[in-house]
Amino acid sequence: MPTLVEKPPEGDDWIHEVKFDGYRSQIIIDDADVRIFTRRGLDWSAKYRDLVDAAKELNVQNAIVDGEIIVTNEAGLSDFAALRKAITRRQHDLYFVAFDLLHLNGHDLRDMALEDRRDILVSMISTGGRIQFSQALQGEAKAIFHLVDEAGLEGMVSKRKDSKYRSGPSTNWLKAKCYSIDEYELLGVEREAGKPAFALMAERGTGRYVGSAFITLNREMRERLLERVQEHAGAAPKGMKRPATQWVKPGLIGRVKPLRGEEDLRHASLQDFRDED
C-alpha cells in the first residue's frame, strides 16, 4: 500500500504511474481456475465475470497479478461512481489495469526488482483487451504531476525501480494525489480552544455527512462566516453528537478543496461559502 505524500519524489530511482480511481484487486490464475480478490481478501470473481474470462486468455499456467479494476468515462478517465454501477449492470465496461506480478508459473517473483517484474508482466498482456498494462509515465516527476492534475486524474503513484514486493504500507511506493474544488452543504462549524476550526460538510441533495474541512479563510471571511453561522443557527442533524459544534439550518453552501478521488472529504479546506440559490 503506497504512502500518501504531498509531492512525488524526484530522481531517476523511481517510476511513475497514473493513480487510477477504482478497486485495488488481485487476479489469481491456477490453470483453468481464475479468481479475483479485493484488497481485503474478498472473492469477487462472480462480480467480475467478464474479467475472469479475459484472464483465462492469458498464456500462463498460474500467476498472481496486482492491479486496479476501473471503468472509464467519456473523457477516458477512471470513474469510481460509474464503476459501482457497472459491476452490477455493465460488466462489459470493466477493465483491469495490471501494474505488478507476484507469481508466475510456480515461481515467486516478489524478491525480484520492480522493473524486472514489470518487464515480465508487460510481455504477458496483449493490447486492446480487458486486461491492460499500467504504462510508466515519462519525464520529470514535477512535470508529470502537473499534467496529471491538468488532465483531471486522481493523482500518480511513484515506485522505487529496485524495490521488492512486500505486503502492507510501504515507503517504496508513494502516492501524490491531486485536489478538486466541489460544493457541499454546510452543516456547522466545530471550534475548540487551541485547535483549528472545521466546517462540517454534507453532500448536496442527500444531506449525507461527508467529513470536515479546515477553515483557512482570511480574517474578514472567517468573521463573516461565523456571523452567518449565528444567523442560521439550527439543531444538530439526527445521529450527530459533536458538543463543540455550532449547527446551522440548511441554506449555506461551502466551496471545498479536497483530495480528488476520495468518497468522503480528506485533507480538505474550506475556500469560500455562499447562500444557496
* Residue 177 bears catalytic tag: no
Taking every pair of Cα atoms in the chain, the longest distance, rounded to a whole number of angstroms, is 68
- Which set of grid coordinates corresponds to residue 45? 470473481
Buried b (16+ CB within 10 A) or exposed e, 8-29: beeeeebbbbbbbbbbebbbbb
Q: Which residues contact 84 (CB under 8 A, 6 or more apart)?
A: none
DSSP of the chain: -EEEESSPPPSTTEEEEEE-SSEEEEEEEETTEEEEEETTS-B-GGGGHHHHHHHTTSS-SEEEEEEEEE-B-TTS-B-HHHHHHHHHH-GGG-EEEEEEEEEETTEE-TTS-HHHHHHHHHHH--TTSSEEE-PPPPS-HHHHHHHHHHTT--EEEEEETTPPP-SS-EEEEEEEE-B--EEEEEEEEE--TTS--EEEEE-TTT--EEEEEEE---HHHHHHHHHHHHHTB-PPPTT---TTEEEB-S-EEEEEE-BTT-SS--S-EEEEEEE--
Of the candidates 7, 19, 164, 238, the residue annotated as catalytic is 19
Active site members: 19
